[in-house]
Amino acid sequence: MVLRREERLAEAARLYYVEELTQQAVAARLDTTRSNVSRMLAAARREGIIRFHVVHPLRRQRALEESLVEAFGLDEAVVLAADAGGDPLERVGELAARWLAERIESGQRMTLSWGRTLAKVAEHLDVERAYDVEVVQLGGDLQLEPRLSGHELVREFAARLGGQYSYLHAPAFLDSPTTVADLRAHRSIAAELEKARAADLALVGVGRFGHGFAAQILQSTYLDEDERQALENLAPAGDIAARFYDDDGRELASPLADRVLALGLDELRAIPSVVAVVAGPGKARAIWAAMRGSLVDVLICDQAAAAMALHLERESVA
């Protein structure tokens, strides 16, 4: 059988890189010369038939990890070392993707919030085999930035893990408490929220009040001027899925609280493993308060955020 050019290049690459034959042995298999094999391998690289994936080591700060577990009673802490290089958001997302790939098991259900950090986790998620998992939304779909929304993220995570997913067909934010209550009573939406409550693992981002999505929410049409001011006066430590909380991790009775279609913080705490993925020292107060309030079982973050969170804890007990 005569192979087409692309197939011949791919076969040369397979024999050389996968079976680890010498170029002379590849030449014998393909009935050509060693020098031609060398040219074929070079062509395969140029044309994208051979793609190299260089896995950089993600250095971790083990001492900080141990301190976080001891100070907050976490199940686990995974801290990206400051000298790991690159953009912290990118590298933390990669670190979280590797953590998840090592721990996910078939038969599990995972629920997701939304945001840039989780989008980075999805981008780097790569598993060697498919897992029979179900991925569901922790709350409704985010309308402020659709590419980072619940719909897009559950679909992407499920695709990369080889599992199944389902949508919660409603927005995360509604204009009135009555609308939220009506939607919660709807059979299909109630069923999706129940799936989230029954999840084995929740993967969440943590928001910093006044920045990112929290800032977008404040400027949105969901709140009038008086309500925005009332929320600002509460000075939330942070939020998870638009559930704002204080420095002890207690959910605040914010003007937005009854307009959010998502699990509440007490419902989140009931999930066996809540994994927060966070990047940047600006999130320190938010993750400190989340850990104090037992909202987080596993923290994956960068060294600057971890160190600042520990500093806040030591100041609070001094």
* 8-12, 51-55, 77-81, 99-103: least confidently modelled range: 51-55
Tell me the β-bridge partners of 277: 300
Give percent of the chain with pLDDT exceeding 70: 93
Mean pLDDT of 71-90: 91
| Size (the chain), residues | 318
Residue 36 has pLDDT above 80, yes or no: yes
With residue 299 as reference, give the H or E element that holds it.
strand 298-302
Reported as a single tens digit per residue, the pLDDT across 219-231 is: 665 778 888 888 8
Mean pLDDT of 108-127: 93
Residue 308's pLDDT is 96
With residue 274 as reference, give the H or E element that holds it.
strand 273-277
Distance CA 118, CA 227 (A): 29
Residue 67 has pLDDT above 60, yes or no: yes
Three-class secondary structure of residue 149 per DSSP: coil
Distance CA 224, CA 230 (A): 10
Residue 220's pLDDT is 66
Distance CA 265, CA 238 (A): 12
Strands (E), the chain: 76-80, 109-112, 134-137, 164-165, 201-204, 238-240, 243-245, 273-277, 298-302
Half-sphere exposure of 147 (CA within 13 A, CB side): 5
Residue 97's pLDDT is 96
Residue 94 has pLDDT above 70, yes or no: yes
Residue 256 has pLDDT above 90, yes or no: no
Distance CA 78, CA 61 (A): 8
What Cα–Cα distance (Å) separates residue 152 from each residue in 89, 106, 163, 246?
19, 22, 15, 30
Residue 40's pLDDT is 85
Reported as a single tens digit per residue, the pLDDT across 135-177 is: 999 998 876 666 667 788 999 999 999 999 999 999 888 888 9
Residue 1 has pLDDT above 50, yes or no: no
Distance CA 284, CA 307 (A): 8
Q: Chain-wide mean pLDDT for the chain?
A: 89
Nearest in space to 291 (alpha carbons), one of 276, 279, 281, 302: 276
Q: At what angle do helices 5-13 and 23-30 cross, to 10 degrees?
A: 140
